[in-house]
Amino acid sequence: MPLDHYVTLGRSGLRVSPLCLGAMTFGEDLGWGSSVEESQTIIDRYLALGGNFIDTANFYTKSHSEKILGDHLGRHAAKRDRVVLATKFSGNLYPGDPNGGGSSRKAIVGAAENSLRRLQTDYIDLYWLHIWDQNTPIDETMAALDDLVRAGKVRYLGVSDTPAWKVAEANVVARFRGWSAFIGLQIEYSLLERTVEQELVPMARELGLGITPWSPLKSGALSGKYTRKNAGQVKADRGFFLDPFLTEKTYAVVDELEVIAKAHDSTVARVALSWVQSQPGVTSTIIGARRLTQLEDNVKALDVTLTKEELDRLDALTKPALGFPHSMIPWFPGIHNGGTTVNGVYAPPSGFVMEKGDKPY
């Protein structure tokens, strides 16, 4: 499946590529990342392959990421209008200013105006709430975002890094008041981060939010670069992100990925990406390429189709232990409809049923 086999994002008509180009590493302002020239090369190659979905944030590389995208795309109308350009608000770029970040009306409007200026465009296709602001009522946030949509400055809304119950509240409030609601959910999701399957993934599927996973390779732990054989020998530029995850559990997963990759004549990274992309509810997976070679390799994940047996093996290695009430869910069919088959699933009777001859009180 190539990049130009587009999918609609959540409960919307917005068409996006199955892999989204993440721009968090555009710019070298933090001591790591891609140079301006390399960033532009990556953008051009992604677009040439048919990709149309690019994601950034107002404070990535101290806002340089947005500026790079603005210089290369925003100022060129023919290029800009063919791209689904997404950015985020919440991050505070101004130390000492309590209203410089968060999700208040003042912060949102200010952040949007600054992002539009840096991106050199008069509209943002997809505007994400980046990180939940516990100090701002969600109705204030949704009302401010709806105003941006009605003003034509924003086309669609998404939410990232926020509890499922708060996202549900936001969308229910928006729909009852006739405001624009979130259509996308951006969450960390990978073979090494599956706790989102407890609440966030089911919530997104129920409410019609398209899932766009970030860090599908767990900061590079699943890139194939770090293996049991070279443990401790290969150092990462952002070791503080990666080092805590170079554990026996990770090496066991990488070992299995290597076996599957060999069977597909592919790579560890592509197989790990293919697993994420195959998960229920996932629309477009964010790939963050610092080098052109990484982009070229990651895009080929769309050519990998994992078998059910391979998916089952990876699932068995990484399946999370979900807490209450999910720990009780296996009991529910027997309690609800024990002794019958419903939607293709048979459940034996629970231990609380009446026996023949028993009378209900």
Give the C-alpha separation, 42 to 290, whole Å.
Answer: 8
List Cβ neighbours of 244 (8 Å cut-off, separation of 6 or more): none
Out of 6, 46, 60, 189, the active site residue is: 60
> 340: which 2 tokens?
């019958």
Query: Is 94 a residue of the active site?
Result: no
List Cβ neighbours of 143 (8 Å cut-off, separation of 6 or more): 105, 177, 179
Cα–chain center distance at 185: 6
- 165 and 201 Cβ atoms separated by less than 8 Å: no
> 145: which 2 tokens?
């975002």
Give the C-alpha separation, 16 to 38, whole Å.
Answer: 23
Buried b / exposed e along 35-54 (16+ C-beta atoms within 10 A):
eeebbbebbebbbebebbbb
List Cβ neighbours of 321 (8 Å cut-off, separation of 6 or more): none
Handedness of CA 128, 129, 131, 132 (dihedral sign): negative
> 11: which 2 tokens?
């409960």
E-strand stretches of 199-250: 210-214
Spatial CA neighbour of 1 closest among 293, 313, 287, 277: 277
Tokens 């499946």 — which residue?
1
Instruction: State the DSSP H helix or E strand holding residue 337, giving kind and residue range, or none if neither.
Output: helix 332-337
Spatial CA neighbour of 24 closest among 3, 42, 11: 42
Positions annotated as catalytic residues are: 60
